[in-house]
Amino acid sequence: MKTVQISLNSIDKVKSFVNDITKFDYDFDLVSGRYVIDAKSIMGIFSLDLSKPIDLNIHAEGGVDEVLECLKPYMV
C-alpha cells in the first residue's frame, strides 16, 4: 500500500480524478480524519472536507508508478 496527499478543491477536479482512477483495477481509499471512503465514489468524495489535502491510500502490489504518474495533477 502507498499513501499520497492529494487536493480536490473543485468539482471539475473531483470528476476528472474519479475518471482517472477508475481506469485502474486497484482499490483506492480517501482518508480525511476518521473517515475512510472509496475514492471511486463521487458521492463519497463530496461528503469529505475538500478545503484541505486528503490522504489517498493506493492498495496495489505493483504498477504503482503508473498510478502515481496519472495522479500528478492532484498531488500536493
Residue-wise pLDDT tens digits, 10-54: 999 999 999 999 999 999 999 999 999 999 999 999 999 999 999
Whole-number Å distance between alpha carbons of 41 and 14: 10
pLDDT at 61 over 90: no
The enclosing H or E element of 2 equals: strand 2-6
pTM, full prediction: 0.93
Q: Quick one: pLDDT band at residue 7, thresholds 50, 70, 90? A: very high
Contact 7, 35 (CB under 8 A): no
Alpha-carbon 74 to chain mean position: 8
